[in-house]
Chain A
C-alpha cells in the first residue's frame, strides 16, 4: 500500500512536563534536527540573499571599476530583453512537453506492466535503464549516436528500412537542425518516462482489487473500470509525477547544453542565466534574472506544495 504520511506519533509520549523541564525536553527533541537545518539555511538561503543584493548592483567582471548601486536597472534590462522572454517561453514548452508526454507514455507502459506475463521483470529492468544513464552521457549519445544526420542510428535505420524496399534514396533529415526543441524534448522524454512509469506502476499496484473485481462482476467493461476507478485512484500519483518531474526538468541544463548548446531557440532559463554569468560575466544582470526566476518558482511552487500538502493531510487523516 501507499502512504504519504503515517499517523503522528506525538501521542506516544506521556503528559507534557511543565516549565524548565519541558523546555529542556523540547530542545532535546530539536537537537538532532539542528545540524541539518542550519546546514541547509547556510548553504541554500544565504547565497540567495547574496543574489538579491547583487541583483541591485552594477557589477560586470569585465569592468571592475564600475561596480556600484544600480537600483532597478538590472531588472528593467532583464524584462526588456527579448532573449529572456524567449527563455521563459522555451522553459515552459520544454517542461510541459517533457512532463506531459512522459506521463502519458509512463501511464501506458505502467498499465502494460501491471499484468502478469513472461519476462515482466526483464521488461521492467529494460524500462528503468534509460533513467540510469548519466544525463550528460545520454545527451551525448542522443546527439552523436542517434540524431547525427550522417551516421546516427535514426537515419541509419531509415536507410536500412528503405533498402528493404529496394530504395536507395531514403529520407535523411538533420534532426537537431530541423526540430531542435523536439530533439531535446525527446531525449528527456526517453529519460523521464521510466520515472513516471515507476511511480504510476506503484500506484496501480496499490489499487483495491476486490472493488475492481466487484465492478467487473456487476458488468463494468475495461474502459469503464479504467475511466471511473483506475484513473481517479491514480490521480494523486499523476500529480506527484508531474510535480517531481517539473521540479527537475525546469532546471534542466545538461540536455540543452549538450545537444544544442542553447542554440536554435532552445536556450531555457538555467542555460540563459549560466550564459549571462559565465560568458558575459554580467553579475548584476544574471542575479536579477535569477531573482525573477526564483519569484516565478515561488509562485508555482506554492501551488505545487499545496498539492503535496493536501496529499499529505489526506493520507495522514486515514
Chain B
C-alpha cells in the first residue's frame, strides 16, 4: 500500500510546493504598493523620486517631520476624523443593537421586509441625497460642522450594523433564552448573562467596521466641510496640490491617515468577512 502511494504523494507535494510559491508571490505583489508606500515615506524626497527606484537608500523621518510641521497642521483634520468616526459609530451601535434585537430575538411582524428596507437604503446612490443635505446645512447654518457628518455617517453605517448585529444576535442559542425565561430572568438579566457574552465580539467587529467606513469617507466630507470640520481624507486631497517635490511626504501622509484603518481592520480580521458581507457569510 505505502509503496504504491509514495510516488503519487511525492508528485502531489511538488505540485503543492509550486502552488504555495505562487500564493506567496501573489500575496507579495498585492502587499507591494503598501510596502512601497511605507518604505518611500522613510526616504528623503531626493531618493523617493528616482528612476530606477532607490530601494536601499538611507532611512529618514524627514517626510513625517515635513508632514506634521511643514505646512498646515494635520492634527485638526485627524482629530475631526476621529471625532466623526467614533461618535457616529457610538450612535450607530445605540440605534442598531435594539433594532437588531427586534429583528432577531423578538422579531416584529414582517421583520424581513424591515431588514430589506435597511439594505435598500444602502443601494440608494449617496449623491442623490447630497444636494438636499447641502442646502439644508446651508440654511440651518450647519455647513462645516462636524455634527452633520456624524449624522450622515450614522445613516451610512446603520444598515450595515443592523444586518451585522442581527446575524450575531441570531447566534444566541434559542434554548438558552428559553432556559433563562423559565428561570424567571428579566430582560436586563437575560441581556447581561445570556446575550452579552455571545455577541460582545460581534459588537466589537461591527464597531470597527463602522469606524473604518466613516474614517474613509470622502465625498460628503468634501462637500459639507471647509476649514473647521475638514476630515483627514479631505486634507489628503488638498495636501497634494499645494506641494512641489513631495512623494516621501505624501507617502508619510497616506500612511499616517491609513494607520487607524489598518489597525482596526487587522483587529477585526476574523470577523471582517462576516461584517463586510452584512452577516451573510461566516
User: Interface of A with B (CB < 8 Å)?
Assistant: 1-6, 8-10, 12-13, 26, 29-33, 35-37, 39-40, 43-48, 50-51, 54, 109, 112-113, 115, 117-120, 122-138, 140-142, 144-146, 150-151, 153, 155-157, 159-160, 163, 190, 193-195, 198-199, 201-203, 237, 240, 244, 247, 250-251, 253-254, 257-258, 269-270, 273-274, 277-278, 283, 286-287, 290-291, 293-294, 297, 301, 304-305, 308-309, 311-312
Contacts and interface: CB of A to CB of B under 8 A. Distances in A.
Given A51-B132, A112-B26, A198-B276, A36 B125 contact: no
Nearest to B174: A12
Contact of B128 (A126, A155, A240, A293): A293
B244 to A, nearest CB: 12
Interface SS of B by simple majority = helix
A290 to B, nearest CB: 4
Nearest to A109: B26
B257 to A, nearest CB: 5
B9 interface: no
Contacts of A156: 50-53
Contacts of B281: 2, 199, 202-203, 237, 240
A132 B158 contact: no
B174 A36 contact: no
A44 B240 contact: no
A305 to B, nearest CB: 6
B132 to A, nearest CB: 4
Given A12-B178, A145-B40, A283-B131, A294 B125 contact: yes
Contacts of B155: 39-40, 43-44
Contacts of A9: 104-107, 174
A117 B124 CA distance: 43
A54 B132 contact: yes
A269 B51 contact: no
Contacts of A109: 23, 26
A267 to B, nearest CB: 13
Nearest to A247: B123
Interface centre among A43, A115, A135 (most CB of B within 10 A): A43
Given A33-B98, A115-B20, A117-B20, A257 B124 contact: no
Contacts of B276: 195, 198-199, 244
B282 A133 contact: no
Contacts of B16: 115, 117
Interface in B38-80: 40, 48-53
A273 B127 contact: yes
A270 B220 CA distance: 12
Contact of A118 (B20, B105, B126, B129): B20
A40 B240 contact: no
B31 A257 contact: no
Contacts of B254: 133-134, 137-138, 140-141
B51 A44 contact: no
Contacts, number: 320
B200 interface: no
Contacts of B50: 151, 156
Interface in B105-123: 105-109, 112, 114, 116-123
Contacts of A297: 123-125
Given A270-B219, A312-B112, A125 B121 contact: no
Interface SS of A by simple majority = helix
A12 B53 contact: no
B124 A48 contact: yes
10 contacts: A36-B95, A44-B124, A44-B129, A133-B258, A156-B52, A195-B276, A198-B276, A237-B281, A254-B219, A257-B237
Given A159-B51, A251-B126, 19 more contacts: A5-B112, A33-B99, A44-B121, A44-B124, A50-B136, A51-B128, A112-B23, A127-B26, A129-B262, A133-B261, A134-B261, A140-B254, A145-B40, A151-B48, A199-B281, A203-B281, A254-B218, A294-B128, A308-B280
Contacts of B261: 132-134
B204 interface: no
B1 to A, nearest CB: 15
A257 B218 contact: yes
| Nearest 3 Cβ contacts at the A-B interface | A32-B98, A50-B132, A137-B254
A258 B98 contact: no
A244 B38 CA distance: 30
B133 to A, nearest CB: 5
A136 B33 contact: no
A126 B258 CA distance: 15
A40 B20 contact: no
Contact of A133 (B27, B28, B262, B272): B262
Contacts of B226: none
Interface in B235-281: 236-237, 240, 247, 250-251, 253-255, 257-258, 261-262, 264-266, 269, 272-273, 276-278, 280-281
B131 A134 contact: no
A141 B33 contact: yes
A5 B163 CA distance: 10
A240 B280 contact: yes
